[in-house]
Structure 1
Amino acid sequence: MKNPRDILIKPVVTEKSMSMLEENKYTFIVDLKANKIEIRQAVEELFNVKVDKVRTMRVKGKFKRVRNRPGKTPDRKKAIVTLKQGNKIQLFEGV
């Protein structure tokens, strides 16, 4: 198994993801090559919680222009992790 810190890149802190905290759902940007089993194991190991469900989606990068030169933001993968009843991640509590 890969290092869990290499799988979970960063948490997503948006208005929509903060509203999902009430349903015990947490959103992370994860490695493009990570699968649901690796994501589940990484969250359980790093935060000492029990994961109920993992949903993933690939987000394509947008085309941007900087000084009239075309470019593209990188593709990324998001994971919405649902925890079992009674489990919470303390990282999100103060936000």
Structure 2
Amino acid sequence: MNILKNQVLTEKTIRLLQRNQYTFDVIIRSNKTEIKSWIEQFFNVRIKGMNSHRLPNKKKRRGKTFKYSGHSKNKRMIITLKKNYSIPLFLNE
């Protein structure tokens, strides 16, 4: 089972790479322990800490009013690795 959807590369996540923190979009129903064990086995790294958050709903305009789309379909994980470990930026699929 592939828990990770994709790596996130934005200005903020590139700054986080200097602190050995990597950002991924993951399946929303997965939890931290599943993600931690999967990443440690797949990339052969050791994880120091993890933070997660759900992305906000998107605002859409319908005539004069604004409506929000349904629930967010992604969860974003910021993973901090221990020293001397790294993850390649681009995965070959």
TM range (shorter): 0.7 to 0.9
Q: 1:15-94 to 2 correspondence within 5 Å?
A: 15-65=11-61, 72=69, 75=72, 76-91=74-89
Of Structure 1 and Structure 2, the greater helix share is in 1
Q: TM-score, normalised by structure 1?
A: 0.79
User: Residue 76 of structure 2 aligns to a residue in which SS?
Assistant: strand
User: Residue 90 of structure 1 aligns to a residue in which SS?
Assistant: coil
State the Cα RMSD in Å: 2.1
Runs (4+) of structure 1 moved beyond 4 Å? none
- Of structures 1 and 2, the one with the larger relative CO (CA 8 A, separation 6+) is 2
Q: Distance in 2 between matches of 1:82 and 1:41?
A: 14
Aligned residues: 87
Q: TM-score, normalised by structure 2?
A: 0.80
- 1:73 deviation in Å? 7.0
Give ranges in structure 1 of 5+ residues lacking alignment: none
